[in-house]
């Protein structure tokens, strides 16, 4: 069943293994990609995912997260929010592609005409022999630095600095996790367990945002996805134990 959910990192997440299938305008043969953006309807996106499920012939848990909007700004807002809370490669990639496509048409109108016989833009020079010489110099410098003897006091000072840097790093990681757990985003979610063919049929029932033209979805398929399901929150819903 499709529901509008809030996605948020759970405090007791555990590693899991699953198959991941994306559906967005830049998937080959799916949707339409133009200079002004990528266009894909929820029906076409979910139809693509349903075929993947039907052909698998398996059973297990299925979770689909989807962002679908009628205008580009709302689509970007939804994608960016989802990518912040759940930065799966698919969502971050689609977010970049959609942003780049939107900017491309604007940039085309703003670019000045090229000057005849103008010099190319400066770029780092990378030649095999040049790189080899630079790397050799770096190795020699590293060997020289390693050969310099350190006193006991210097070693103790370096060790104290390392301990302090490690403590600071652990503190930053802990603070980052707490901030991440406090973030949330809206998403359309589908959760089903059982035969994949049945899941495919349910996936196509009561599709939300049917008139949307911007869609990005990601389907997760695995034996047990309860730890992923913990991230989806909605009223009057009980998470499976």
- Answer whether residue 190 is part of any domain: yes
- Answer whether residue 59 is part of any domain: yes
Choice between 24 and 91, residue whose per-residue pLDDT is larger: 24
Q: How many domains does the chain have?
A: 1
- Answer whether residue 167 is part of any domain: no
Alpha carbons 167 and 84: distance in angstroms, whole number: 26
- Answer whether residue 199 is part of any domain: yes
Q: Residue range 126-147: average pLDDT? A: 66
Q: What CATH code is carried by the domain that includes residue 74? A: 3.30.1490
Q: What residues form DSSP beta bridges with 188?
A: 4, 66
Residue 104 confidence (pLDDT): 64
- Answer whether residue 177 is part of any domain: no
* pLDDT tens sequence across 161-208: 777 777 777 665 555 555 555 667 888 999 999 999 999 999 999 999
Range of the domain at 88: 18-107+186-233
Alpha carbons 106 and 215: distance in angstroms, whole number: 22
Contact 37, 98 (CB under 8 A): yes
Choice between 236 and 99, residue whose per-residue pLDDT is larger: 99
- Answer whether residue 35 is part of any domain: yes
- DSSP secondary structure letters along 52-94: HHHHH--EEEEEEEEEEESSHHHHHHHHHHHHHHS--HHHHHH
Per the prediction, the chain carries an average pLDDT of 77
- Answer whether residue 216 is part of any domain: yes
Residue 239 confidence (pLDDT): 44
Put simply, whether the predicted model's pTM sits higher than 0.95 gets the answer no
Q: Residue range 131-144: average pLDDT? A: 70
- Answer whether residue 63 is part of any domain: yes
Q: 44-48, 123-127, 165-169: which has the highest mean pLDDT?
A: 44-48
Residue 133 confidence (pLDDT): 66
Residue 170 confidence (pLDDT): 65
- SS3 (DSSP) at 211: coil
Residue 238 confidence (pLDDT): 40
Which candidate, 107, 90, 119, 125, places its Cα nearest to that of 36?
107
* pLDDT tens sequence across 219-231: 999 888 888 888 8
Choice between 240 and 120, residue whose per-residue pLDDT is larger: 120
Range with the lowest mean pLDDT among 13-17, 141-145, 187-191, 235-239?
A: 235-239
């Amino acid at each position: 069943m499709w529901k509008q959910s809030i996605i948020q990192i759970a405090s007791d997440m555990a590693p899991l293994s699953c198959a991941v299938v994306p559906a967005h305008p830049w998937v080959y043969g799916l949707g339409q990609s133009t200079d002004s953006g990528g266009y894909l309807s929820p029906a076409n996106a979910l139809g693509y995912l349903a075929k993947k499920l039907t052909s698998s012939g398996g059973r297990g848990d299925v979770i689909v997260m989807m962002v679908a909007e009628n205008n580009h700004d709302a689509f970007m807002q939804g994608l960016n929010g989802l990518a912040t809370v759940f930065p799966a490669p698919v969502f971050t990639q689609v977010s970049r592609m959609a942003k780049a496509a939107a900017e491309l048409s604007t940039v085309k109108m703003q670019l000045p005409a090229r000057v005849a016989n103008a010099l190319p833009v400066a770029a780092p020079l990378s030649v095999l022999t040049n790189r080899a010489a630079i790397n050799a110099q770096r190795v020699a410098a590293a060997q020289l630095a390693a050969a310099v003897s350190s006193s006991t006091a210097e070693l103790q000072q370096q060790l104290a600095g390392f301990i302090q840097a490690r403590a600071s790093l652990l503190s930053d990681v802990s603070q980052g996790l707490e901030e991440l757990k406090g973030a949330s985003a809206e998403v359309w979610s589908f959760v089903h367990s059982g035969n994949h063919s049945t899941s495919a049929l349910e996936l196509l029932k009561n599709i939300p945002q049917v008139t949307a033209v911007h869609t990005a979805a990601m389907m997760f398929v695995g034996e047990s996805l309860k730890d992923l399901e913990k991230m989806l929150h909605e009223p009057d819903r009980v998470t499976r134990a």
